[in-house]
Amino acid sequence: MATVSVDLSDDEFRQLEEAAQSRGVEPAALIERWVRERLVHERERAAGGGRPMSPRAPREREGND
């Protein structure tokens, strides 16, 4: 199994710890989940599915105007 190292600022690491704690998981488990979800998303996009936009891009409301 491959290992990946990520450099984070102290502030980013605190944010990661807080996010992990709020979900009841360890920071490494949360990072692993995020990476796996992102890889699935990228595979879907490469296969022609999904929306071709950034996760942070504004989205239209569906049925709620």
Domain ranges of the chain: 16-46
Q: pLDDT by residue (tens digit) across 15-61? A: 999 999 999 999 999 999 999 999 998 998 888 876 666 667 666 55
CB atoms within 10 A of CB 2: 3
Six token digits for residue 22: 């709020």
pLDDT digits (tens, 9 = 90+) for 15-25: 999 999 999 99
User: pTM score > 0.85 for this model?
Assistant: no
